[in-house]
Chains A and B, each alone.
Chain A
Amino acid sequence: MSRGLLPALLLAALVLRLQGLDWDQGRGLHPDEGNLVRAAAALGPGRWIPAFHAYNDLALWLPKLAAAPFCDTSAEPCLRAAARVLSALFSAVSVWAMAAIALRLAGQPAMLATALIAATSAPLIQWAHFGTTESALVLLTALLWLQALRWQRGEIGNSGLALTSALLLAAGFGIKTSALAAAVIPLAALAVTRRPLGPSLRTLAWALPLTAALALAAVPSLIFAPADWLAVMRFERGVVDGSLEVFWTRQFAAGSGPLFQLRQLWGATAGAGLALAALGLLAPADRLRGLVPGLAFALVYAGLSFGWHAAFFRYLAPLFPALLVLAGLGAARLLALPSQTARALAGAGLALMAVTGLDLAASYQATDPRVLAEAALRTRAAPGARLAVEPYDSPQTAGLETLVLPLEDPDPAALAGVLAASDWMLVASRRNWAVLPGHPAAPLACGYYAALTAGDLGWRPVALFRRASPFGPLLQPDLAAEETRSVFDRPQVILLRNEERLDAATLADRLSAPPGDCTPAALAAAWERPR
C-alpha cells in the first residue's frame, strides 16, 4: 500500500497546486506578480534586457518562453497564466524533491510524512498560485540539497554534484540574487565529507568559474545594464535593511526580527510544523551528515534574513525545504515510537497542517472578495456615483469614478474633501487600516479610522466580503501575520456607503477630534461588528 502512497501524494500535490490558478478571475490582483508579468510582456525584439531588475532576467524569461507555444507573450493574461502554471509545477516537483531527501535521511515513513506535509503545506500551495519566484526558490533549494545528499551517499560523483549545483545556483541567481546563498548547500556537503578532499577541491576549481559563467548567462543585465541592475540592488538592499522607507515596509515599523519571523513560521505551519521540525532535529548521529547541507543553509539564510527590517514572509521561502523535511522526520520519529500518545500527537499534527493547506486550496475555488465587492457595488451604486478607494491597494471599482483617499496627508481638509465628495468606499484589504494608524507618516490615520468605524464620519459599512473557505477565519492568518500572507489572495473587503453625507467642514472638524481606539485589533473588531 505504501508503494502507491507516494504517487498519490504527488498527484494530490499537483492537483492542489493546479486547481484554482485563476483565483482572481483574471484580474491580476497580485502586485508583485503584476510587476513581473508587465516586465516580461515588455521583453522581445528590441528589448532583450529587461528594464526591471527586482527579479533577475531568468525570472522574466521563463514564463515568456514557457508561454510562447501557447499564447501571445506580449499579453499579460497569457504571461500571468504561464507564470502561475510554472510556479505550480515547480512547487509540485519540490514536493517530490523533499520526499526524496527524507527517504535518504530516514527511510520510507519519513518520506511519506514529508510528502504529506509538503503536498498540503499552506505556504507552498499559496506560492504555487502566484506567478512569482517563491516556488522556484523552494525547488532549487530542495534540489541542491537532494544533489548534495546523493553525492554524500555516492549516488553521484564529484562532477555530477558540481555540474548540477552550478546549473541550479545559476538558475537561482537568474531568478533572485539572494538565491546565491544556497551555495552553502554543496559547500557544506564538501566540508563534512569523509572522502579525500583532493578530487573534490579539483572539481571545485572548475565548478566555481562555471557557476559564475552560468550565473552571468542567466542574468545578462549584469553585463549589458550593470548600472541599472546595481541601482536596483542598492534600492532593494535599502528596503530590506530599512534605510529606505517605502509603503510596503511600514507594517514593520512596530518591529520585525527573529522572533517575528519565527512567529510567521509557526503560524504558517499551524504550529505543528515547527514543533515537529524541532523533533526532527533530534536525528541519530548517522543521519547528521545528511542533514548538514540543508541545515547549514537554513542557519545561514535565517541568520541573514531574520535580521532584515523588511520581514516579508516570502523571503522565508528558501527555508521551507529544511523546515518541512525536518517536520517529516519529526513526524516519522513520533510515529515509530512505541507509544499511542506519540502516534496520536503525530497524526494530529499532520492532520492540522494538512487541513490548513486543504482549506487554503479550497478557498481558491471561491470568488475573490474584491470581485464580490465589485458585484455588490454594481448592483447598489447609482450611475454616476463616486467611489473612494485607499492607496496602494487593488480595489475593483465597477467602472465608477474613483477618488483616492489621501491617508498620509496631514491636512484634514484634504481627506475630508474626498470623503464628502464620495458616495461609496471600498476598503480592499488591511494594508492601510492595520498599518497606518500610529505611523508617523500618516498623522490623521488613527483618528480617521477610529471615527470611520465608529460611524462618526457618516459612513456606514454595508457589507463585508471574505474569500470563502471551509474553515473560514479559523485557519486563516490573523493580524499578527505578515500582511502579504493574506492581502494578495484573501483580503477582507469592506464596502461602505456615505449615509449622512456630512459636508467637508464638518468632516474636517471630526477628523481633528481626539482619536478613539485605533489599534488593529479594535478596528478589526469594529469592522466585524454587526450592523
Chain B
Amino acid sequence: MMGALPAADWAEVLRWLAWLALATVLARPLALRLMPGEGGWIAGKLLGWLVVGWVPWLLASFQILPFGAAAATGLLALALLALRLGLRPFDWRGFLALEAAFAVLFWLGLAVRLNNAGLSGLEKFTDMAFLAAAMRAEAMPPQDAWFAGHPVNYYYVGQAMAAAWAKLAGVGAAHGYQLAMATLFALTALGAGLLTARLAAPWGRRMQAVLGGTAGLLAVYGGNGHSVLYQLVRGWMPTTKDSFYYPDSTRFIGFDPEGPDKAFTEFTSYAYTVGDMHAHVLATPLFLLAAVLVLSILRRGLAGALPGPVQAAGFGWMLGVAFTVNSWDLAILGLMALVALAVLLARPSPLPFRIRADGLGGAAVIALAAAALAAAPFLAGFRPFAEGIAAAPARTPPWQLLVVWGHVLPALLLIPALALARAPAPPLLPITVMAAAGLLLVALPETLYLKDIYGADFARANTMFKLAFRAQTLLVAAGLAVLAPVLARRGGWTLAGLAALAPLVATLAYLPHVQAPLSTIRSLDGLAFLGNERALIEAADRLPLAPGEALVEASSDAFTGGARVSAMTGQPAVIGWTGHEWLWRGAAGPALARAADVDLFYTTADPAARCRIAARYGIRYVILGREERARYPELDEAGLRALGAEVHASAGGSILRIPPGACPG
C-alpha cells in the first residue's frame, strides 16, 4: 500500500535523498543570507537543488572539468560558502521537519510519476534525449542526440542540472528522470507553500502554516477554474464534450467549443501527471525561489532597507539561470521585479527618493550583470530561433477567461476590497504585487505573442501556455495569502474569506485525476514500454561512437515512437523528431533534408547513394529494429547488411557497424 521498490532502486532513492539533504544543510546559510527572515530550510532545499545541478554545468561549459567529474563540485561550492557563512545555529527540529515533509512529498511525487512509468508519450523522448545526452557529455552544451554533429540548440540546462544530480547519485538516465520528477514535484509543493506563507507572514504563523500548506497541496493536486466548473456544475456549462477528461482543463480555449484560436492553459499538477521533464517544469523550483527573493527585497524595501549586493547578485544569478532553463521565466521574473521596483520607488519610505533610486539602480545594475554572466556560457553556444514578438492575432472570449481563472477571482477581488476598507497598505502590498504580476501574465497573450513555427490556429498557444503556467502559481499564492488579512478581520470578512477560499479549494476536484496511489511505486523502470526492443536499445547505449560519428535510425514525426534509440541513450542520430529540430534550428530545410536522407539510406537500392549519405553524416552504426521495419516497408535489408557486420542481434532487431573506409570521403 505504501509502495515498495527493489533493493537496487531503494539504494538509488536513498542516495539521491541523502545528497539532497546534505545540499539543503549546506545551502541554508546562503539562503538565509539571500533572504534574511524569508529563507530557511525550504529555501535551502530549493537553492541546494539548483546550485548542485548548476555548478557542474558551468564547469563543463567552461571545459574546466568534464561534466561527470564535476558532479560533486556544486556540493563543494556550497560547503565552502557554508564554511564562510557558518552553519550555526543549526535548527535540528526545522531540518528534520523539512526532511520529513520532503520525503512524504517525494514519495507522493514518485507515485504520480510511476503511475505511468514509461518514458514515452508527449515530450518525454525530448526530455530523455537531453538528459541522456548531457549524461554522456564531457563538455556543455551536449551533442544533440537528434541532430548528430551539432550541439543542442534549445533550453537544455534544466535537464543538464538533473543529469548532474543523477551523476552525483550514481543513477542512470532513465532512473534519474523518475527521481528528478519526484524531486521537482516535492520542491514545487514546498516552494508554492513557502511563497504563500511568506506573503501571509504578517498575519501569524498559524495562518502561514494553513495557507502555505493549502498552496502546496493545490500546486501539485489542484486544477483551475475549468476543473471546478466543468466537473462540479458541468450541466450548466456550454461544453461540446461528452465527459470531463483531465487535459480538458489545459485545452479549453479554442477546443471547447472548437475555434480557430487555440491556446493552452497548463498548470503544475497537470504537468506532473503527464510527467514531462520539460523546461517549464524544471524551472519551477527556481521560479518559486526567485519569487520569494523578490518578495524579500520588496518587503525589506518597504521597511526602508535597500537590497544589498548579495541579494542583487543572487537575484541576477537566478534571472540568468532562468533564461538558460526556461527563457520565458527571464521575462516573467523580470516583470515581477519591475513591478516590485515601481512600488518601491512610488511608495512613501523613510529613505529619500534619491537614495532609494540610487540604491535600487545599483542593485539593478548588479542583477543585470550577474544575469548576463550566468547566462553567457549558455548564450555562447545558442542560436536564437524565435521570430520576434507580434500583436496577438486573436483574443480569448471573456467568458472563457472567467472560466479558466474563476477560481482565483473572488479572492483577488478581496485585495481592492481591503484597500477600500483602509486596511494597512504595507503588509498588503507584496500580495498586490504578486497578484498584479499574475494578472499581467494573463493579459499579455491577449495583446502580444512570441512568433514561432506554429500555424495560425496555434499562433499564441505556446505564449499563453508558458505565461499561464506561472500566472496560476502566482495568482493562487496571492489569492490564498490575501485570505490572511481578510480572516484576521473577523466578522463579515470571515464569511467573505471563506467564500473566496471555496473555489480555490474546489480545484481539488482535479485531485482524483492527478493523484496516484502509493502502490504504483514498484520499480523505477521507465523503459518497459520498449518491449522486445529493450535489448537493442541497451546495446545501442554501449556503442563506442567516436567524435563526429553517428548512428542512424528511422526518421520520425514528433510525438511518435520513432527516434527512440537516440532519445533513450543520448547517442547522436542523424535525425530525431523532425518537427522539433525544425523548431530548434529555426528552419525546416536542414531537418527535412536529413529526414529525406535517412529515408533514402534505408530504402535505396543504390549502394553509392547510401554510402554518400553515410559519409555525409559520419554514420558508424545502423539500427534495424521494429520502427525501421514499420516505417520502411521497402527496406533494402540486403543492401544495408552489405555495408558492414552485425554487432548486435536480439528479438527487437539488429545493429550493423559500418567499418571505417567502407564509405571513404
Contact = CB atoms under 8 A, between A and B. Distances in A.
B616 A499 contact: yes
A315 to B, nearest CB: 30
A68 interface: no
A472 interface: yes
B361 A344 contact: yes
Contacts of B612: 499
B379 interface: yes
B94 interface: no
Contacts of B366: 344, 347-348
Interface string A513-531: 0000000000000001111
A388 to B, nearest CB: 14
Interface string B526-567: 000000000000000000000010000000000000000000
A460 B377 contact: no
B381 A341 contact: no
B358 A339 contact: yes
A470 interface: yes
Given A470-B377, A472-B381, A530-B585, A340 B363 contact: yes
B665 A339 contact: no
A97 B204 CA distance: 62
Contacts of B365: 341, 344-345, 347-348
B377 A347 contact: no
Contact of A340 (B153, B361, B587, B665): B361
B147 A340 contact: no
A463 interface: yes
Contacts of A462: 616
B453 interface: no
A463 B583 CA distance: 22
B380 A474 contact: yes
Given A341-B362, A463-B548, A470 B665 contact: no
B448 interface: no
A351 B63 CA distance: 21
Interface stretch (A129-137, A192-200, A238-246, A377-385): A377-385
Nearest to B307: A340
B362 A340 contact: yes
A380 B665 contact: yes
A379 B147 CA distance: 21
A351 B361 CA distance: 17
Contacts of B652: none
A380 B660 CA distance: 9
Contacts of B664: 382
B247 interface: no
Given A340-B361, A344-B363, A531-B149, A474 B376 contact: yes
A385 B664 CA distance: 11
Interface in B117-166: 147, 149-150, 153
A110 to B, nearest CB: 21
A411 to B, nearest CB: 29
B61 A376 contact: no
Residue among B357, B364, B664 with max Cβ neighbours from chain A (10 Å): B664
Contacts of B383: 528
B57 to A, nearest CB: 13
A352 B373 CA distance: 9
B162 to A, nearest CB: 23
B62 interface: yes
Nearest to A348: B369
Contact of A470 (B61, B358, B363): B61
B590 interface: yes
Nearest to B546: A379
Contacts of B380: 470-474
B359 interface: yes
A62 interface: no
Contacts of A343: 362
A283 interface: no
A530 B143 CA distance: 13
A-B interface, 3 closest residue pairs, ranked by CB to CB distance from nearest: A340-B362, A472-B380, A341-B361
15 contacts: A340-B362, A341-B362, A344-B361, A347-B365, A348-B365, A348-B368, A348-B369, A355-B376, A380-B665, A424-B665, A470-B377, A471-B380, A474-B376, A499-B612, A529-B587
Given A344-B362, A424-B665, 12 more contacts: A341-B358, A344-B361, A348-B368, A348-B369, A463-B149, A463-B548, A468-B63, A497-B615, A499-B616, A529-B587, A530-B590, A531-B149
